[in-house]
Amino acid sequence: MKWKKGIMTCLAGTLLLAGCGAKKEETAVTKEKETATTEAVSGASEHQSTPLEELKDSYDVIIVGAGGGGMSAAIEAKDKGLNPVIFEKMPVAGGNTVKASAGMNASNTHYQKEQGIEDNNDLFFEETLKGGKETNDQELLRYFVDHSAEAIDWLDGLGIELSNITTTGGMSVKRTHRPADGSAVGQYLVDGLQRNVYEREIPLFTNADVKEIIEKDGKVSGAKVTFNNKEEKEIKSKAVIVATGGFGANLEMVSEYNPDLKGFVTTNQEGSQGDGIKMIEKLGGQVVDLEQIQIHPTVEQETSYLITEAVRGEGAILVSDEGKRFVNELETRDNVSAAIIALPEKAAYLIFDASLRERVKAIDFYDEQGLVKQGDTIEDLAKTLALKPDVLKETVDTWNQAVKDGKDAEFDRTTGMEHELSQAPFYAIKIAPGIHHTMGGVKINTNAEVLDKDGHVIPGLYAAGEATGGLHGKNRIGGNAVADIIIYGRQSGNQASEYVKAN
C-alpha cells in the first residue's frame, strides 16, 4: 500500500458575492468543477484504496467519510476490538479536514501548561458560547470543552503532536494547537490519522459512495454502497457512523437555506454535498441550524485560497484601501467579515512582517502561489499596493505603539499583540470574505447518537463533525471545527463500539 504526503497545506478559498464584486455564480461553479480533481489529489494524502476484492459482506460498523472525524471514529472502534470499515466517495481520503489551516482549539492542555498559558474549560465554554451568540447546544458544548485536552493527549499517542499554540478570533487566550513548525494543521492531521488507519489494517475504500443507510426492525442494519460509480452492494453492519462533512460545496443547498449567500463559491472540497444529512433525514432524523452558514473573512479572491486565521492570530493587521485599520482583526469571523463587506471596496489587505512570516509557515505556500506582495519598507509596500505611503506608515506605527503599550485604543484588540510589525521586509495579501463552514446538520446527543424528530435515539446510528449541527450555534470559532471532528469522531467510535458489543 503506497502512501504519499500531499503538497497543499492550506484551505482553498472562495470568491465574494456577485453583488460585492465577485465573479458570477456560473463562472464560480465551472471553476469549482475544473479544479476538483487537482484539488483532490494535491490537497489530500494520496492513498491506494483497499482493493475491492477484499470487500466483505458485513462489518461491525460502517463509517461513512474518511475525513478527520471518520478516521478518528475508525481508530477508536478498532482499538475497542471492533472490525470497522471506512467508505469514502472521493478518490482520496481527507475530506475538508485536509484544508484546515489554523489549528485545533483545546483548553487546559499539557502544552498550554508547559508554555505558561493559563486557561480553563469554563473560559473556553463561555467564549465559544459568546461567539455562537449564545445559541449553541450547551450540552454538546460542555462535553466538547471538557474533552478537548484529552483529545490532544489522544493525538499525542498517535504520534500527532500539536505543540505550537496560537490564537483565533473570539478567544482571549492562546488555545489553538498546531504542528510544531507553525504549519497548517490539516495536512499534518490527515497524514497522521491515515497512517494510524493503515497500521491498524482498517479497510478504507475510496470511490465508495454510500447512497442509503438501511434500517431493519427499527435499527440500523447496514448501507447501500456504489463502487467506482457503477457497482452497488449492500453491506451489513450493526452500526453506522456518518462523518460526511457539511454541504458547503452544494451551492443550491446553500442558497436554499440562506438565500443571501447566492453567488458565493466555497472553500469546501467538492465532496461536501450534504449527503449524510440527506440520508439521515430520510430515516426521520432531526436537523438543526441549516440556515447557519459561515463566511470566512480572509480569502484571496483570484485563486480562492483561504488565508489562515493564524496570520492575524500572530499579529497581522487589516487595512482598507485608505491604508487604515477598520476593525479588531480578532473579532469573531462574522463580525470581521461584515466589517470588510461594509468597506466601499468590499476587500482589505493583511499586513505583516518578516518575523510573523517565520511564525506562520503557511505563508510560504501563499508566496509560492503568487499571493504575497512585498516591500523593503512599509512605504515601499504601500506603493506596491497603490496605497498612500504616509497613511500606511502612520497606521503601522500606531499599531506598533499599541503593541508596546499593550493597549489598542482604536479597536480594543487584546490578543495577537505580542509582536510588533517592525522587521523588514514587509508583506501584504489582499483578501475578502467567502463561504467556509455549514454549522447546521443532524441533531445528536453527547453520545454522538442521532436523534429523530421526536428527540429519540435512532438505534445504531451515529454522526460526527460538520454533518452535525448545534455545537457552534450561529457562528463557529476558528479552531473549533478540528476539535469537533476529533472529539466527536472519537466519541462516535467509542459509543458505536459499546452498542455493537451489547447487541
d(CA 82, CA 239): 11
Beta carbons of 275 and 463 less than 8 angstroms apart:
no
Task: Say which DSSP state 436 is in.
Answer: E
Task: Verify whether residue 490 is a known catalytic residue.
Answer: no
Beta carbons of 113 and 153 less than 8 angstroms apart:
no
- Report the Cα–Cα distance between both ends of the chain, in Å, rounded: 34
HSE, side-chain direction, 13 A CA sphere, residue 283: 34
Cell triple for 41: 489529489
The bridge status of strand 231-242 relative to strand 457-463 is parallel
Helices (H), 45-172: 68-79, 110-114, 121-131, 138-146, 148-157
Residue 100: strand pairing partners: none
DSSP string, 202-237: --EESSEEEEEEEEETTEEEEEEEEETTTEEEEEEE
Q: Which of 90, 95, 30 is nearest to 489 (CA)?
A: 95
**DSSP element (H, E) containing 394:** helix 389-405
Positive or negative: CA dihedral 422, 426, 430, 433: negative
Beta carbons of 415 and 171 less than 8 angstroms apart:
yes
Q: Which of 63, 37, 39 is nearest to 50 (CA)?
A: 63
Residue 226: strand pairing partners: 209, 232
Distance of CA 409 to the CA centre of its chain: 32
d(CA 119, CA 110): 11
Rg of the chain (C-alpha set): 22
d(CA 397, CA 162): 34
d(CA 105, CA 147): 11
Name residue 361's amino acid.
K
178, 333, 359, 413: the catalytic one is 333
Q: Which of 376, 253, 268 is nearest to 13 (CA)?
A: 268
**Angle 20-26-28 from CA coordinates, rounded to 5°:** 65
d(CA 393, CA 421): 11
Beta carbons of 93 and 71 less than 8 angstroms apart:
yes
- Residues with a catalytic annotation lie at 333
